[in-house]
Amino acid sequence: MTTRRVIAPMVALMLVAAVGLTSCSQDDQASCPPLALAFLGVLTGPDASSGTTVRNSAAMAVAEHNDASPECEVGFISYDSQGDADLAVVLANQIVSDDQIIGVVGPVFSGESAAAMPIFEEAGLPVLTPSATNPTLSQQGWSTFHRLVGTDAAQGPAAVVWLLSAADVKRVGVVDDGTLFGKALADFATDELNRRGITIAPRQQVEPSRRDYGDVVEAVASVGVDAVFFGGLGEAGAQLHRQLRDAGVDGLFVGGDGLYNTSFRDSVAAGPDGGVSAR
Q: Where are the domains of the chain?
A: 2-147, 152-277
| CATH T-level fold of 2-147 | Rossmann fold (3.40.50)
How large a percentage of the chain has pLDDT more than 90?
61
pLDDT reported for residue 12: 37
Is the overall model pTM greater than 0.85, yes or no? no
User: What one-letter code names the amino acid at 276?
Assistant: V
Residue 64 has pLDDT above 70, yes or no: yes
Mean per-residue pLDDT for 226-244? 93
pLDDT reported for residue 229: 96
What is the rounded CA–CA span in Å between residue 200 and residue 160? 12
How large a percentage of the chain has pLDDT more than 70?
85
Asked if domains 2-147 and 152-277 share a fold, the reply is yes
Chain segment 109-146, per-residue pLDDT in tens: 999 999 999 999 999 999 999 999 999 999 999 999 99
pLDDT reported for residue 31: 67
> Which option is the CATH number for 152-277: 3.40.50.1370, 2.90.10.10, 3.40.50.2300, 2.160.10.10?
3.40.50.2300
